[in-house]
């Protein structure tokens, strides 16, 4: 067990900040304000401040963040929303939650991200919004996409669940569109100790509306002027996140250094890794490499107690959940090819050079180009 290398090591991170985390959690328990206290509001304000612009609403998870963002911006029945199929299912699920129709776009073969050409190919007169996903901590071509959306009057939403504080053109991902969403699922780059999420808006009025939707459409304690949801972030999660927010830039840098080491090792081998877009400072949520015998390599790494995984093995448009919506007919050749070849290797801020070397060596023992 001691020689095992997990995909992510939440324990190592916890050990490094244990006293602060304990203080934060105990502070909430002592106050007995478990929801709707000051912690979630404070975290949302600090997070907005750190992002450098806009307004942030704390919420229950990255999926509710997406559906609240869509609803707040007026996306609903009859609208089409462009989403990549190469993403976690939540991106498309949220579109269904507001009764709109996800329209799946392919991704770029090199970056595995949705790009302007792929978006253009899916636009119809019903298209209301585009949701870009900054997958793996890389960032989509925001400049081109933002300009296109503005020109066509389309809403732009950034699913930033995997790219907290990644930069594009010197500016943080998640501050370009009309709204952006964050997940603080424990395994994300900024992770709570349970479910949590946030929604960013460029407009204060939209953020106020979203805050209302998240909390039962509440005007006063028992007076509600719109039909909302219970999608609040709880205070313990907010307190944990406020501690972790202080370290996120340091952790991102450690991720970049680890990824650089993998990249250096792989550079001589011909194995394909994910290309980072120009003008991007990535935050490497995952380190993804391709090979032709992926399942064999995964089994080999498992046998060596190395926690590799596939993100994601089935493209969203081919998920059984979407079977009734006739979406599987769409041709997404890059998505299909990428899904059949990718493998995520262990990556976390505390990973050591030695661990990286072991993972790389075992990968090379089994992998074929
Ligand atoms: C994790 C994730 C989500 C959903 O976040 P939850 O907090 O788990 O609901 C949405 N989109 C992407 C790209 C994700 O990685």
The C-alpha angle 114, 66, 248, rounded to 5 degrees, equals 80
> Taking a C-beta distance cutoff of 8 angstroms, is the pair 67, 129 a contact?
no
Which atom of ligand 1 is nearest to 66's Cα? Answer: 10
Tell how far the Cα of 22 is from the centroid of ligand 1, in angstroms. 26
* Mean pLDDT computed over 51-59: 98
- Whether the pLDDT of residue 117 is over 60: the answer is yes
Tell how far the Cα of 161 is from the centroid of ligand 1, in angstroms. 5
pLDDT value of position 2: 60
- Whether the pLDDT of residue 284 is over 70: the answer is yes
Cα(253)–Cα(117) distance, rounded to whole angstroms? 31
What is the sign of the dihedral through the CA atoms of 234, 239, 244 and 249? positive
Q: Which of 158, 183, 284 to mutate to test the pocket of ligand 1 (most atoms within 8 A of CB)?
A: 183
Decide: helix, strand or coil at residue 200: strand
- Whether the pLDDT of residue 133 is over 90: the answer is yes
Tokens for 270, please give them.
């011909």
φ/ψ region of 14 (left if φ > 0, alpha if ψ in -120 to 50, else beta) reads alpha
* Mean pLDDT computed over 50-63: 98
pLDDT value of position 328: 75
* Mean pLDDT computed over 103-117: 98
pLDDT value of position 277: 92
* pLDDT > 90 in the chain, percent: 97
> Taking a C-beta distance cutoff of 8 angstroms, is the pair 29, 23 a contact?
no
pLDDT value of position 30: 98
Contact residues of ligand 1, CB 6 A cut-off: 61-63, 87-88, 90-91, 133, 159, 161-162, 183, 185, 195, 197
pLDDT digits (tens, 9 = 90+) for 185-237: 999 999 999 999 999 999 999 999 999 999 999 999 999 999 999 999 999 99
pLDDT value of position 1: 47
H or E element that contains 91: helix 90-97
pLDDT value of position 324: 85
> Taking a C-beta distance cutoff of 8 angstroms, is the pair 65, 88 a contact?
no
> Taking a C-beta distance cutoff of 8 angstroms, is the pair 157, 178 a contact?
yes
Question: Closest Cα to residue 87, out of 73, 107, 67, 101?
Answer: 107
Residue nearest to atom 3 of ligand 1 (CA): 62
> Taking a C-beta distance cutoff of 8 angstroms, is the pair 158, 177 a contact?
yes
pLDDT digits (tens, 9 = 90+) for 35-46: 999 999 999 999
pLDDT value of position 327: 79
Cβ burial of 189 (10 Å; 0-12, 13-18, 19+) is buried
Compute how many other C-beta atoms are within 10 angstroms of the C-beta atom of residue 122. 18
Question: Closest Cα to residue 67, out of 38, 99, 45?
Answer: 99
* pLDDT > 70 in the chain, percent: 99
Which atom of ligand 1 is nearest to 135's Cα? Answer: 13
Tell how far the Cα of 123 is from the centroid of ligand 1, in angstroms. 24
pLDDT digits (tens, 9 = 90+) for 315-330: 999 999 998 887 778 8
- Whether the pLDDT of residue 118 is over 90: the answer is yes
* Mean pLDDT computed over 35-64: 98
| Mean per-residue pLDDT over the chain, rounded | 97
Residue nearest to atom 14 of ligand 1 (CA): 161
pLDDT digits (tens, 9 = 90+) for 258-277: 999 999 999 989 999 999 99
CA-based Rg of the chain, rounded to a whole angstrom?
A: 20
Tell how far the Cα of 366 is from the centroid of ligand 1, in angstroms. 31
Cα(273)–Cα(343) distance, rounded to whole angstroms? 10
pLDDT digits (tens, 9 = 90+) for 285-323: 999 999 999 999 999 999 999 999 999 999 999 999 998
Tell how far the Cα of 305 is from the centroid of ligand 1, in angstroms. 26
């Amino acid at each position: 067990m001691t020689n095992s290398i997990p995909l992510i090591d939440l324990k190592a991170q916890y050990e490094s900040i244990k006293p602060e985390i304990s203080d934060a959690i105990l502070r909430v328990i002592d106050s007995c304000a478990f929801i709707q206290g000051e912690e979630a509001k404070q975290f949302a304000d600090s997070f907005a401040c750190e992002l450098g612009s806009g307004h942030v609403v704390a919420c229950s998870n990255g999926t509710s963040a997406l559906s609240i963002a869509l609803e707040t911006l007026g996306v609903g029945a009859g609208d089409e929303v462009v989403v990549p199929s190469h993403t976690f299912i939540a991106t498309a699920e949220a579109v269904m939650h507001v009764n709109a129709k996800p329209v799946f776009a392919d991704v770029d073969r090199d970056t595995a991200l949705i790009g302007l050409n792929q978006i253009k190919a899916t636009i119809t007169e019903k298209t209301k919004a585009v949701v870009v996903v900054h997958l793996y901590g890389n960032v989509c071509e925001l400049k081109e996409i933002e300009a296109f959306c503005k020109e066509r009057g389309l809403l732009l939403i950034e699913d930033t669940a995997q790219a907290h504080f990644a930069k594009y053109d010197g500016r943080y991902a998640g501050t370009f569109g009309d709204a952006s969403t964050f997940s603080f699922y424990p395994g994300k780059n900024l992770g709570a100790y349970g479910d949590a999420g946030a929604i960013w808006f460029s407009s204060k009025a939209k953020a106020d509306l979203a805050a209302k939707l998240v909390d039962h459409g509440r005007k006063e304690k028992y007076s509600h002027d719109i039909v909302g949801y219970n999608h609040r972030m709880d205070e313990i999660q907010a307190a944990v996140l406020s501690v972790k927010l202080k370290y996120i830039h340091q952790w991102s840098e450690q991720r970049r250094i680890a990824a650089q080491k993998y990249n250096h090792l792989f550079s001589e081998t011909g194995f394909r890794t994910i290309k980072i877009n120009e003008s991007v400072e990535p935050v490497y949520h995952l380190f993804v490499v391709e090979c032709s015998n992926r399942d064999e390599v995964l089994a080999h790494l498992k046998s060596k107690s190395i926690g590799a995984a596939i993100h994601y093995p089935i493209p969203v448009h081919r998920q059984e959940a979407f079977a009734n919506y006739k979406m599987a007919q769409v041709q997404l050749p890059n998505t299909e090819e990428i899904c059949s070849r990718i493998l995520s290797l262990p990556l976390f801020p505390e990973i050591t050079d030695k661990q990286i070397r072991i993972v790389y060596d075992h990968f090379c023992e089994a992998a074929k180009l």
